Each structure stands twice: as structure tokens, then as C-alpha cells.
Amino acid sequence: MLRGSHSINLDAKGRISIPTRYRQGIQDSCERQLIITLAVNEHVRGIKGCIWFYPLPEWERLEKKIDSLPSSSKPAIRFQRFVQGNAIDCEMDKQGRVSIPERIRSLSGLESSVVLTGLGKKFEVWNEDIWNQKFDDFMEPDQEADDDEETIDLAF
């Protein structure tokens, strides 16, 4: 299970070091094989400052779902074009580093300081400044939900 947030740096070669606590799990679940792609929101629009990392088996499950989407659906086509079409195979090296291709870094706005956030089955990698702003917005006590914003029922 991927969870928690970690501030890390991109090195001069565009690599990040996966925190030690995740490395063995990545090795065991996917033999260090990951997929990097652009992140999109619920409206299938790119999320500036964010990319997704999937362990290969999770990506393959997602691709099966993508393949079952209706080919006449504009959001499905957009999702396929930008998420699947920009997916890049990569490998975590033995030191726990993953190279993020320059094109993906450029398209997403990743800079030297990033935040790696575990979301269960995938990681998000955020430009740290954008992550901090989103976090500040989330923590704003006076922020009201939009009238059309969906809510979820989390019965604990």
C-alpha cells in the first residue's frame, strides 16, 4: 500500500529517489517496473505540476479499463490520448532512483523540489510549490464546498 507524502529532490539527471520504505514493495510487486504518465483531474484535464507513477501490474489493470471505455466518448478519448499516450515505461534502479524523462518533467512543470505522495495503488509526484498551495487551500477553514461539488460518505 502506497501512502504518505515525502519531500524529495530531482537530481541533475531528472531522477528522484523513492523513499526506502517503498523500495522492497516495488521490487516484490513489479520487479522495479513502473509506468510514468501525466496526471489528469476528474474532468480529464491535465493537472499542472503533477504526474502519476504506477507499478506495472496496477497500470496493466488500468489499461484494461481504458480499453473497455467507449471509443465514441470524448472524455474517454482524451483520457486515452493524454494518459495512455504519454505513458513511459521506466525502472527503479538498485539505488531506488527513477528517471523522469525531460518531456514529462517539462509538460507537467516539475522542478527540482517535488513531493511524492502515495495514493494506495499509485504515486503522485508534485511540483512542491504547487503541492504546498493545494495543501494550503485544503487546510483553509473558511473554504466552503461548491454547491455542485460531490461529497462522499465515509462511514467509519
**Strand-pair partners of 58:** none
Amino acid found at 16: I
Residue 154 has pLDDT above 60, yes or no: no
How far apart are alpha carbons 50 and 32 in whole angstroms? 21
**pTM score, two decimals?**
0.88
Which set of grid coordinates corresponds to residue 118?
Answer: 502515495
What pLDDT is recorded for position 138?
87
Q: What residue spans define the domains of the chain? A: 2-139
- Count of C-beta atoms within a 10 Å radius of residue 2: 21
pLDDT tens digits for range 29-66:
999 999 999 999 988 899 999 999 999 999 999 999 98
Q: Is 12 helix (H, G, I), strand (E, B) or coil?
A: coil
CATH numeric code, 2-139: 3.40.1550.20
